[in-house]
Structure 1
Amino acid sequence: MTAQNKTVKLAKMGMLVAISVVLVYLVHFPIFPAVAFMEYDPADIPIFIGTFAFGPMAGLLLTVVTAVLQGTTVSAGSGIYGIIMHTLATGSFVLASGFIYRGRKGKKEAALALTVGVLVMTVVMVGANLVITPIFTGWPVSAVKDVMGFIVGFNVVKAGLNAVITFFLYKRISGFLHR
């Protein structure tokens, strides 16, 4: 890859990060009123698209950069806790889906990759919430377990919705990303 191609790829990745930050700023709302602090946002869609276009390691880089930027600007209220949780959630999704999709890039592989991403993210976030949430919130593990149904539901809905949107958008956008 030439220096110019690397620069173009980096610029496109930067654009995806910027879109992600803008999306979380503009669109965020609770899925379950009982746990209103768990808000849906479409910010992972550009990261998922970038993962499919540039591979799982690029997706992980997009995740970390986006998590830090969001966690220090538009989502600053969640601080380092939000950065860690976003990195774990989206990072697990992009690694799982990205490694599946990078081989053969058909619709079946995309659907499989996105489905596995949703499942992996959900499982990772169950564990992360049991370990990390008590540290940052002071909640006892029993309190986290009491809302585990919401945690699972939130991750399935958020990741699932973002995966479906990515499925329908990626091929329309991929031409631009690969030029």
Structure 2
Amino acid sequence: MNTAANPQKHPGQRASKTKTMVKVAMLGALAAVLMLFAFPLPFLAPSFYELDFSEVPVLIGSFAMGPLAGAAIELVKILINLLLNGTKTMFVGELANLIVGCAFVIPAGYIYQRNKTRKHAIAGLVIGVVTMTAAAVLMNAYVLLPAYGKAFGMSQDSFIKAGAAIHSSIDSLLDFCLLLVAPFNILKGVFASVITLLLYKRISGLLGR
């Protein structure tokens, strides 16, 4: 009789993988719902930038299940939001949002997974905010704003004027990104980080830390 090992996965491994997929889907759906409650901060950025707390479930998932799971949750969030709201930028906006979101949750989850302490959680979140902000500046300056300008018939000057109404020293698209996009994303990242730190220990058990 052939006693070669069965190449199929052990039932326990399949069950664990299924549970992970369910958690990713649930957290992604929750994040997409939170995106629906976005609101502008007109004192900080033009009204087409809206603050939401959708990164909180993504960060919690990244902490609990690792950075790859965090990236998967981010992808599920973007796809669900795309189904709910559609796209007018040939998917460029969704891709940019995915990259910026992953730039936040992947470093945070990776650093926390290496040593699951509060110190490492804070360090991961700080680095995540920095990388997200840098990614947001680059993506807005070279990808997102040009794509939105093309989709909605807006010139580069339109964005500069909208930014100058908030910060009078803005006279270029790079100024717009450095003086408006960067602070906006820092604030968004700080809010998401604080909420994650407050909630994670209370609910991480449900996700199987």
Tell me the TM-score normalised to structure 1 length: 0.90
3-state DSSP of counterpart to 2:115:
coil
Equivalent AA in structure 2 for residue 157 of structure 1? L
Which of these residues, 135, 154, 162, is aligned with residue 184 of structure 2?
Answer: 154
**How far is the alpha carbon of 1:82 from its aligned partner?**
2.8
- 2:132 maps to 1:103: no
Equivalent AA in structure 1 for residue 156 of structure 2? P
Pairwise mapping of residues 11-22 of structure 1 onto structure 2 (< 5 A)? 11-22=22-33
Q: Name 1:30's counterpart in structure 2.
A: 40
**How far is the alpha carbon of 1:68 from its aligned partner?**
1.8
Which of these residues, 49, 66, 80, is aligned with residue 91 of structure 2?
Answer: 80
Tell me the TM-score normalised to structure 2 length: 0.78
Equivalent AA in structure 1 for residue 181 of structure 2? I
Cα distance between partner residues in 2 of 1:21 and 1:169: 18
Going from structure 1 to structure 2, the CA distance change for 1:105 and 1:23 (only over 3 Å counts) comes to same
Is the Cα–Cα contact under 8 Å of residues 92 and 120 in structure 1 kept in the other structure? yes
Between Structure 1 and Structure 2, the one with more helix by share is 1
Which of these residues, 55, 71, 88, is aligned with residue 60 of structure 1?
Answer: 71
- 2:193 maps to 1:163: yes
Cα distance between partner residues in 1 of 2:134 and 2:118: 24
Cα distance between partner residues in 2 of 1:75 and 1:41: 18
| Coordinate RMSD, CA, aligned | 2.1
Identical-pair percentage: 32
**Structure 1: gaps spanning 5 or more residues:** none
Range 128-137 or range 8-17, more displaced: 128-137
* Larger gyration radius, structure 1 or structure 2: 2
Is the Cα–Cα contact under 8 Å of residues 12 and 177 in structure 1 kept in the other structure? yes
**How far is the alpha carbon of 1:81 from its aligned partner?**
3.2
**Structure 2: gaps spanning 5 or more residues:** 1-11, 150-154, 158-170
- 2:143 maps to 1:132: yes
Pairs aligned (count): 178
**How far is the alpha carbon of 1:134 from its aligned partner?**
4.3
Instruction: Describe the superposition over 1:81-130 as per-residue Cα deviations: whole angstroms up to 9, x where unpaired.
Output: 33122101111111211211111101111011111100110011111111
Going from structure 1 to structure 2, the CA distance change for 1:144 and 1:133 (only over 3 Å counts) comes to farther
